Structure formats: C-alpha cells, structure tokens
Amino acid sequence: MIERTFVMIKPDGVGRGLVGECIRRFERRGLKLIGLKMQRLTESKAALHYKEHAGKAFYDALIAFITSGPTVQMVWEGNDAIKQVREMNGATNCLEAAVGTIRGDFGLSHQKNLIHASDGPETAVREIALYFDESELVDYELLCPEWLQ
C-alpha cells in the first residue's frame, strides 16, 4: 500500500554531513521525496513533536539535543513506506542497530541517533501535519514507477 511517512534528520546527522547519505539511501530504495525543509526547532515545537515522551527520564536531554542545531524535515512516499523507512533507520539505540541501517552504520549513541521516522500511520499523519501544509507536499511522477509497485 502506498504510504507517506515523516522523517527528520537530527542535529547530529546534519552536523556530521549525513543529510545526503540519508536521502541517497531512501531515493535508491525507490521511495519518493515529496516534502523537504530545514529548520532549528524551537522548544515548543520539539515539545509538540515528542509529547508522548514527556516525563520520561531522557525527555529533558532529548529536547536539549533536538533544539541544539539545525534539523531537516522530509516526507517520503512509497509502498509500505512507514515500515521500510523504520527498518532502514535501524533500532532506536545505535548500539543495537544492525549494520546496514543508518544508525548501525553511522551512530554509537542511544540519544544521538541521527534520524527520526514515524512509527505508524496515525503518527505519520500527525507528524507530517506538524511540519508541512498539504500545499507544501509536491505531486510528481518518478521515472518508471511501475517497477516499484
């Protein structure tokens, strides 16, 4: 089923020059980039994004980290996109992420794990709407989309 998912490259991913590497992986997999922007998150935006983690032991450090530098927001579209992007990112804790995933190839931290992606369809709708107006999502055809169905 064709799905949309929200992906954010975190300040460590931007600061380490891994934006292109992440985009390259998703593009080569066959996913379609339909939304893209860059911003440094305010504390209030970060609190909205991570509201389900409020009160957890790592929450304050997470908000400090995610607001510490620029981030890149993206919407990717494709067959089973939510699950496939999660698998390409790897386990939340980079120390447990499989080699071959973005976190397993480039990270060594639990908190500084380079990239975020929606964990399910409702989250994807909520997170996309948090960062993008529908008018900012671009409709176009990839070359030969029939190879990716």
User: Does the annotation mark 49 as catalytic?
Assistant: no
Phi and psi, residue 74, nearest 5°: -140, 150
Strand partners, 9: 72, 115
Nearer to ligand CMP, 67 or 92 (CB): 92
Nearer to ligand CMP, 58 or 98 (CB): 58
CB of 38 to ligand CMP, least distance (A): 17
Q: Which of 49, 53, 110, 116 is catalytic?
A: 116
Q: Which residues bind ligand CMP (CB under 6 A)?
A: 53, 58, 62, 92, 110-111, 113, 116
Task: Say how far apart CA 29 and CA 17 lie, in whole Å.
Answer: 20
Nearer to ligand CMP, 44 or 135 (CB): 44
CB of 128 to ligand CMP, least distance (A): 15
Q: Contact 61/53 with Cβ under 8 angstroms?
A: no
89 burial type by CB count under 10 A (0-12 exposed, 13-18 middle, 19+ buried): buried
Positions marked active-site = 116
